[in-house]
């Protein structure tokens, strides 16, 4: 949340929308070659509980946090969170660039998690996340 407040304070809140918009339309095949050529938002929708909204935000990928961090270029992730189809909450963060350079480099999965009850499991691939979400 610190990142969003910082961006608003700098008057560049529209940059946040660019990261989220880019992630929503990003083909999951570009992130993992074995996945279908679908936009991330549509792919995630297949894993969400009925009538659940996907919450989107851009953030610092959990990398910043101290005043000393401001001397480095801050990474930017677009994060999607939603209730999962078989219970729990899933979250996916895609690294898209940096605060100084905007969208740059090749997008990559930064983090994927599924929380059920008090247990959070991290995944190294979207395919593994999807398999876990579909299981009970």
pLDDT digits (tens, 9 = 90+) for 36-66: 999 999 999 999 999 899 999 999 998 765 5
Taking alpha carbons only, the member of 62, 57, 81 closest to residue 129 is 81
Range of the domain at 109: 2-134
Q: What is the pLDDT of residues 8-35, one digit of tens each?
A: 334 344 555 899 999 999 999 999 999 9
Question: Which pLDDT band, with edges at 50, 70 and 90, does 136 fall under?
Answer: confident
First-to-last alpha carbon distance for the chain, in angstroms, is 31
Number of independent structural domains in the chain: 1
- Give pLDDT tens digits for 84-110: 999 999 999 999 999 899 999 999 999
Distance CA 26, CA 105 (A): 14
If we measure between CA atoms, which residue out of 94, 84, 91 comes closest to residue 122? 91
DSSP tag of 92:
E
Which among 39, 43, 45, 44 is positioned nearest to 25, based on CA atoms?
39
């Amino acid at each position: 949340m610190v990142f969003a407040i910082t961006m608003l304070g700098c008057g560049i809140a529209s940059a946040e929308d660019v990261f989220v918009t880019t992630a929503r339309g990003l083909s999951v095949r570009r992130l993992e070659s074995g996945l279908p050529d679908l936009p991330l938002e549509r792919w995630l929708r297949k894993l969400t509980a009925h009538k659940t909204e996907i919450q989107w935000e851009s953030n610092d990928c959990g990398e910043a946090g101290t005043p000393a961090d401001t001397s480095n270029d801050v990474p930017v992730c677009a994060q999607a969170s939603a209730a999962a189809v078989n219970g729990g909450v899933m979250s996916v963060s895609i690294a898209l660039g940096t605060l100084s350079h905007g969208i740059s480099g090749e997008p990559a999965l930064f983090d994927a998690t599924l929380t059920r009850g008090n247990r959070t499991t991290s995944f190294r691939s979207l395919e593994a996340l999807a398999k876990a979400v579909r299981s009970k």
